[in-house]
Amino acid sequence: MQKRRSIKSTGIPENVLGYLMVTPALLCILLIAIFPIIRTFSLSLTDMKMQFPDAAKYIGLNNYMKLFKDERFWNATYNTLFFTIVSVAMELVIGFAMALVMNMPFKGRGLVRAAVLVPWAIPTTISATMWKFMYHDQFGVLNDILLRLGLIDQYKSWLGSTLSALWCAIIADVWKTAPFMGLLLLAGLQTIPAELYESATVDGAGKIRRFFNITVPLIMPTMLVALIFRTLDAFRVFDLIFVMTGGGPGNSTETLSMYAYTMLFRNLDFGLGSAIAVLIFIFVFLISLIYIYLLNIQND
Amino acid sequence: MRTKRLLVFLLTVAVLVFMLSACGSSEKSGDNSTESQPEEKASESKSEEEVTITYARGKDTTPATQKMLEAFENKYPNIKVNYQEMPPQSDQQHNAFVTALSAGDDSVDVYRLDIIWPSEFASAGWILPLDDYFSEEEREEFLQGPIQGCTYNGSIYAVPLYTDAGVLYYRKDLIPNPPETWDELYSIGKKLMDEGKVEYGFVFQANQYEGLVCNVLEYIHSNGGKVIDGSNVVLNSENAIEALNIFKKMLDIAPEGVTTYIENDGGVMFQEGKVAFMRNWPSWWSNLNSDESAVKGKVGVAPIPKGPNGDATGKATLGGWNLAINKNSKNKDAAWTFIEFMTGEEAQKIQAIEGGFLPVRQNLYKDADVIKANPHFESMYDALVNALPRPVSPFYPKISESIQINTHKFLMGEIDAKTAVENMAKEIQEILEQ
């Protein structure tokens, strides 16, 4: 009672007061999220180059037109999509398998659950350096094993071939992030009540039937959330490829994030670099919309 | 319903997090509008008053920098130097410097710049032109390649601190006379491989990175080719095409993974005695002659070979580091005193003897103390005098990128030499015209 009176005494209507109170938070968001986006977009409409900051002028959508005609941009887009789709698909399958195993009661299960997280816990730059060394043509362990097994007759340069370099990066990414997918899915599996399986068994459903009619539909929402996390992450892949190949060989592993970084910070071309950043933003927005749409279908 | 709300919430968070990290990079651009202030006349320095200047350079793993700073402070007790160590990779230093300088920062007075940066920093108005301080007569005492690399639009913007140029290391126990041409190098390397004396004939740096530019330019320059002449792109020539083909031929006698190699990969193999020839930087000399090295005492060093249409000598690519003054520095005169000392004979000698860095003053290559500490310097002098800088342009990073991508595509067999050269010439022309 006391409180309500004090509000009234200020003479400010309650809803206005409410808005007043969220204003600081809104300002914060505006400053750290909305402002950079608008700034990036406005920069992308100029030919701003750090070497000649005063000569920057408005050039409309020219940067975007340039990118649409730029073979390198499409190559980077293709690499990014290929990397995202293949690595997320592999992570989903492997992660799901891991989750199913970890969901079964067995001795040392807690230890296994902790142990699978090790690759996820290693910083990407470090695991990328580690994989780069394993793929090395002279000192790498991969060549050594394959040669001993007789699968190859001489050392191969895995990161030095346009055919294998992107796959090498995908394998390193799957190694690192499949456990994360596995743990998310495991959490989903554990929310499925055991009674469902019991009654289905009583009704005569076999293992496969139970998997497809109970596990898969009930884990779908968790899976979609896990997928959106990983898809957005994979789409922005930067450090892994930056360390492993630097975009080579022959630019066959350059991704959109790397292209944007190179344009912005190495070449200091803020106009074009911002345009790439804006396009990445739009791509990601579209991916998110698709997932949200799928989630809504799921829930209805 | 509750799960739905939760999921929508999670998605919103995910999207927000993404937006932040994707745009975090460009966020910095917000405060990048450098205010070009009218150039101040260097303030009169009062010699009695004590000033502190800040010097930023990448980490020096040798004791040289420390000793040079001590010598400086002994000689100029009224100038204190605050030594700011930067990360070792040159790309990271570049990022740090660009971020600070574009925001008009004045906390650092003297920057150490890679030979490919002065024109970029000069055109952006971040560093002070030094014409008034650094006379043309004084410049003549320096090696001319580095001076050229520090000159932009007719003004000098930095003073060379130490230099670097590609050299050819060879196994003098297997090869009595180093090759003078690329063809000789190829046939000697191949012969030693066939005889089983070495595993590979030649290692160099052919990963898609800056080092590839240094390597490929040596073939082009040593075969009478050139990238830029004044403001014209003159790369598209028969000589350049031929040079590229010679470069690619070297892949036959190199390890398969050489197209992923940077300095260290080949250096370690050469150190293990697996390779007959290596193109690398002079600083590898001490590693190759250390106690862990299998080739200790068996290493010779020679200038880069030449191509069939080149001059009398091969042309190494110039590296090296240079000192420049921040345009916003409040202690420009003290900063100049510091640079003058660091690039003067006394400090240059300390640098060469304590750190093994190649001096920038010509006369030091005949100095008894320097040669005693670094006997290999004498044979490197010719390579240094003939070394050429990479194209000098404020847009050098883009030029470098075009050379890297096209050369690497060519080495991977995706395009032929003619297409590679044409692509580079066309792209570099566009970069210069922008």
Give the residue-averaged pLDDT of B173-198.
Answer: 96
Give the residue-averaged pLDDT of B202-219.
Answer: 96
Residue carrying the six token digits 């390397």: B189
Enumerate the H helices of B203-283 as residue ranges: 210-221, 238-249, 263-271
Give the residue-averaged pLDDT of A227-234.
Answer: 94
Contacts of A52 in chain B (CB under 8 A): 123-124, 394
Does residue B195 share a domain with residue B63? Answer: no
**Residue ranges making up the domain that contains A147:** 71-299
Asked if the C-beta of A119 comes within 8 angstroms of chain B's C-beta atoms, the answer is no
Does residue B255 share a domain with residue B108? Answer: no
Asked if the C-beta of A46 comes within 8 angstroms of chain B's C-beta atoms, the answer is no
User: Residue A281's pLDDT is what?
Assistant: 94
- Place B28 in a pLDDT band, splitting at 50, 70 and 90: very low
Give the residue-averaged pLDDT of A119-142.
Answer: 93
Query: Chain A 52-71, CB below 8 Å of chain B: which residues?
Result: 52-54
Does residue B204 share a domain with residue B128? Answer: no
Does residue B255 share a domain with residue B355? Answer: no
Query: What value of ipTM does the predicted structure carry?
Result: 0.85
Please answer yes or no on whether B29 and A160 come within 8 Å at the CB atom. Answer: no
Q: Does A104 score more than 60 pLDDT?
A: yes
Alpha carbons A241 and B123: distance in angstroms, whole number: 32
Give the residue-averaged pLDDT of B145-154.
Answer: 92
Contacts of A33 in chain B (CB under 8 A): 16, 19-20, 23
Residue A36 lies in a domain: no
Residue B29 lies in a domain: no
Taking alpha carbons only, the member of B55, B156, B163 closest to residue B114 is: B163
Please answer yes or no on whether A246 and B209 come within 8 Å at the CB atom. Answer: yes
Asked if the C-beta of A18 comes within 8 angstroms of chain B's C-beta atoms, the answer is no
Residue carrying the six token digits 């050429």: B388
Taking alpha carbons only, the member of A84, A46, A43 closest to residue A62 is: A46
User: Residue B11's pLDDT is what?
Assistant: 57
Residue A37 lies in a domain: no
Residue B418 lies in a domain: yes
Q: Give the gap in angstroms from C-alpha B267 to the nearest C-alpha of chain A.
A: 12
Alpha carbons B204 and B169: distance in angstroms, whole number: 10
User: Residue B48's pLDDT is what?
Assistant: 59
Does residue B357 share a domain with residue B424? Answer: no
- Lowest mean pLDDT, pick from A45-54, A124-133, A231-240, B412-421: A45-54
Does residue B142 share a domain with residue B177? Answer: no
Residue B402 lies in a domain: yes
Does residue B276 share a domain with residue B401? Answer: yes
User: Residue A9's pLDDT is what?
Assistant: 61
Alpha carbons B101 and B257: distance in angstroms, whole number: 39
What is the CATH number for A276?
A: 1.10.3720.10
Q: Give the model confidence (pLDDT) of B346-376 as tens digits.
A: 999 999 999 889 999 999 999 999 999 888 8
Residue A157 lies in a domain: yes
Contacts of A277 in chain B (CB under 8 A): 22-23, 25-26
- Place B89 in a pLDDT band, splitting at 50, 70 and 90: confident
Give the residue-averaged pLDDT of B369-386.
Answer: 88
Does residue B143 share a domain with residue B108? Answer: yes
Alpha carbons B311 and B305: distance in angstroms, whole number: 11
Cis check: omega of the bond before A249, within 30 degrees of 0: yes
Does residue B408 share a domain with residue B270? Answer: yes
**CA atoms B307, B312, B313, B318: torsion sign:** negative
Residues B148-177 as b or e (16 or more Cβ within 10 Å = b): ebbbbeeebbbbbbbbbbbbbbbbbebbee
Q: Give the model confidence (pLDDT) of B288-344 as tens digits.
A: 988 999 999 999 999 999 999 998 889 999 999 999 999 999 999 999 999 999 999
Residue B33 lies in a domain: no
- Closest residue to A277, CB basis, from B26, B208, B269: B26
**Residue ranges making up the domain that contains B148:** 51-163+319-386
- The region, left, alpha or beta by phi > 0 then psi within -120 to 50, assigned to residue B18 is alpha
Which of A229, A238, A251, A297 to mutate to test binding with chain B, by most B CBs within 10 Å of its CB? A251
Does residue B237 share a domain with residue B192? Answer: yes
Q: Does A287 score more than 90 pLDDT?
A: yes
Under 8 Å between Cβ of B43 and B301? no
Nearest 5 degrees, angle CA B289-CA B292-CA B298? 35
Domain total in chain B: 2
For residue B300, give the amino acid letter.
G
- Closest residue to A36, CB basis, from B30, B32, B405: B30
Contacts of A292 in chain B (CB under 8 A): 8, 11
In chain B, the residue whose alpha carbon lies closest to the alpha carbon of A36 is B27
Contacts of A294 in chain B (CB under 8 A): none
In chain B, the residue whose alpha carbon lies closest to the alpha carbon of A273 is B26
- Closest residue to A250, CB basis, from B19, B27, B408: B408
Q: Give the gap in angstroms from C-alpha A130 to the nearest C-alpha of chain B.
A: 15
Residue A251 lies in a domain: yes
Residue B17 lies in a domain: no
Alpha carbons A207 and A249: distance in angstroms, whole number: 47
Sheet containing strand B110-114, edge to edge, reads B79-86, B51-58, B110-114, B318-325, B159-165
Enumerate the H helices of B28-163 as residue ranges: 64-75, 90-102, 118-123, 136-140, 144-149
Q: Does B29 score more than 90 pLDDT?
A: no
In chain A, the residue whose alpha carbon lies closest to the alpha carbon of B399 is A267
User: Residue A54's pLDDT is what?
Assistant: 84
Does residue B297 share a domain with residue B196? Answer: yes
Contacts of B11 in chain A (CB under 8 A): 225, 228, 288, 291-292, 295
Q: Does A64 score more than 90 pLDDT?
A: yes
SS3 B405: helix
Asked if the C-beta of B35 comes within 8 angstroms of chain A's C-beta atoms, the answer is no
Residue A30 lies in a domain: no
User: Residue B207's pLDDT is what?
Assistant: 94
% of chain A residues with pLDDT over 90: 68
Taking alpha carbons only, the member of B156, B120, B33 closest to residue B394 is: B120
Alpha carbons A176 and A167: distance in angstroms, whole number: 14
- Closest residue to B34, CB basis, from A36, A53, A229: A53
User: Residue B379's pLDDT is what?
Assistant: 81
Residue A148 lies in a domain: yes
B173 or B24, higher pLDDT: B173
Q: Rounded to a whole number, what is the distance in angstroms from the first to the last CA of chain A? A: 43
Q: Which residues pair with B81 in a beta bridge?
A: B53
Q: Does B26 score more than 80 pLDDT?
A: no
Does residue B325 share a domain with residue B218? Answer: no
B146 or B23, higher pLDDT: B146
- Lowest mean pLDDT, pick from A271-285, B6-20, B234-248: B6-20
Count CB neighbours of B105 within 10 A: 13
Domain total in chain A: 1
Please answer yes or no on whether A138 and B120 come within 8 Å at the CB atom. Answer: no
Q: Give the model confidence (pLDDT) of A48-60 as tens digits.
A: 998 888 888 999 9
Please answer yes or no on whether B26 and A39 come within 8 Å at the CB atom. Answer: yes
User: Residue A297's pLDDT is what?
Assistant: 85
Q: Does A274 score more than 60 pLDDT?
A: yes
Q: Does B424 score more than 80 pLDDT?
A: yes
Asked if the C-beta of B207 comes within 8 angstroms of chain A's C-beta atoms, the answer is yes
Residue A51 lies in a domain: no
- Place B7 in a pLDDT band, splitting at 50, 70 and 90: low
What is the CATH number for B107?
A: 3.40.190.10
Asked if the C-beta of B414 comes within 8 angstroms of chain A's C-beta atoms, the answer is yes
- Lowest mean pLDDT, pick from A285-289, B7-11, B44-48, B147-151: B44-48
Residue A201 lies in a domain: yes
User: Residue B87's pLDDT is what?
Assistant: 84
Which of B11, B23, B412 to mutate to test binding with chain A, by most A CBs within 10 Å of its CB? B23
**Which DSSP symbol is given to A215?**
I
Enumerate the H helices of A203-269 as residue ranges: 207-210, 216-235, 239-244, 256-261
A213 or B220, higher pLDDT: B220
Contacts of A228 in chain B (CB under 8 A): 11, 14
Residue B279 lies in a domain: yes
Q: Give the model confidence (pLDDT) of A148-193 as tens digits.
A: 999 998 899 999 999 999 999 999 999 999 999 999 999 999 999 9
Average pLDDT, chain B: 88
Contacts of A267 in chain B (CB under 8 A): 395, 397-398, 401
Q: Does A2 score more than 70 pLDDT?
A: no
Under 8 Å between Cβ of B59 and B85? yes
